[in-house]
Chain A
Amino acid sequence: MILDRRQILLLLPAAAVAWDFVLAGTPEEAPNYNMSSHWWGMLLDITKCIGCGSCVRACAMENDVPDGYFRTWVERYHVEDWHIENPRVDSPDGGKEGFPASGMTGGKNFFVPKLCNHCTDSPCTQVCPVGATFHTPDGVVLIDYNYCLGCRYCIQACPYGCRFFHPERHTAEKCTLCYHRITKGLTTACCEACPTGARQLADLKNPKDPIHAFLKDHTVQVLKPHLATGAKMFYNGLDGSVR
């Protein structure tokens, strides 16, 4: 076959585009999991949380979280009627071993489980200078541990305090929403271990997910909505005093 100049000029860019696909290899490894058909979030029902710390222990065991650091933790709030702006909050060892009696009487008392909010417009991914923390196409914020320099910008940027510096790996670290589990059709370790159903993984792109029915007839709120981070951790029964 002899190609004239016109044909070669047309074929060259086409070959360049094709070569890019050759270099990229197979796009997705897990054949049954399609990233574009999920959008992950979580429902946290404060009216059901009993502060047992099962989620914190489960997270630590599933993800090998070092002692004294937390990807998820539970806070206990005590709010006086006349002092709503200044709640008393405690979280002994992140609530890992439950909560000893507080000795508090009166006021409002409740538990708030916390974790990474997997924000749609996350401040933490915006500040990463090397592209080591990112959004997956299914709405999870992850860290590339092989790419992270350990500059800690993201830890400062997170308005929810959900990131920490891993003492051994020397990279930033945070909740992955158990990405290794949810991509296999399982729920997260914290949701699996929660005895009361106070934590429920939600796939917002799945029309059959019970989250949609729940969101319709409950008053839910995200943490710090004024920051417009697009947080996807929906709290039912969230008190205004929660920071």
Chain B
Amino acid sequence: MSKFRDSKHLIRLAVVFLLGAVVFVALRAAVIPKSFGRYGPYRGDAIKELTAQPLAYAGHEACEGCHPDVLEIKAKGVHAHVNCESCHGPLAKHADDPAAVKPVKPDVATLCVRCHSQSIAKPSSFPQVDAQEHAQGQLCNTCHQPHSPGFDAGGKK
């Protein structure tokens, strides 16, 4: 059998294909992030980056460590299951450095009615009042202790 004389063409073509393949593989390796595909078809490091977001709400466990007195008052009343930051706002910075960041006392005039103003859409078992008729201009904490708002709890702390 005689030798195939035009084998050079094929070799050249093969070299071009091979080079293309090498460039493709190299580019792919350079462009795709290392963590892509670790958990699925996405960048695995993205999970870690999202976990690094700072906290605004410290969580009630953080409050209870330093304020057991309030916890005790709260535990007896109907507000036992209302978390601290629900009324006092986000206080992770205060929990991190209690001396530097002091929480502002909530404004009773707007705070209480946010939950307790009368509305037809609220569950009927939830305590609701017409603030004007109920308090006649007086602040809620004149009669109610916000941490345990029964009548006998007795006014301002």
Contact = CB atoms under 8 A, between A and B. Distances in A.
B4 interface: no
B86 interface: yes
Interface in A36-54: 47-54
B43 A142 contact: no
A85 to B, nearest CB: 19
Interface in A168-191: 176, 179-181, 183-184, 186-187, 189
A76 B121 CA distance: 7
A136 B47 contact: yes
Given A52-B114, A111-B121, A180 B53 contact: yes
Interface string A194-209: 1111000000000000
A134 B41 contact: yes
A196 B126 contact: yes
B42 to A, nearest CB: 4
A142 B50 contact: yes
Given A52-B115, A62-B56, A195 B82 contact: yes
Interface string A98-134: 1101101100011100000000000000000001111
A132 B40 CA distance: 11
B42 A61 contact: no
Interface stretch (B15-23, B31-39, B64-72): B31-39
Interface residues of B, number: 41
A102 B57 contact: no
B85 interface: yes
A153 interface: no
Interface residues of A, number: 58
A147 B123 contact: no
A116 B85 CA distance: 23
Contacts of A131: 36, 41-43
A132 B52 CA distance: 18
B123 A48 contact: yes
Contacts, number: 138
A50 B118 CA distance: 10
A92 interface: no
A192 B59 contact: yes
Contacts of B81: 195-197
B89 A102 contact: no
A101 B115 CA distance: 13
B122 interface: yes
B25 interface: no
Interface stretch (A10-18, A23-31, A215-223, A227-235): A23-31
A192 B60 contact: yes
B57 A192 contact: yes
Contact of A24 (B35, B52, B55, B126): B35
B46 A58 contact: no
B90 A53 contact: no
Question: 3 closest A-B pairs (Cβ-Cβ)?
Answer: A144-B46, A134-B42, A180-B53
Interface of A: 23-25, 27, 29-30, 35, 47-54, 58, 61-63, 76-78, 98-99, 101-102, 104-105, 109-111, 131-137, 142, 144-147, 176, 179-181, 183-184, 186-187, 189, 192-197
18 contacts: A29-B48, A50-B115, A53-B114, A61-B57, A98-B117, A101-B118, A102-B120, A109-B121, A144-B43, A146-B46, A146-B49, A147-B43, A179-B50, A186-B59, A189-B57, A192-B86, A195-B82, A197-B81
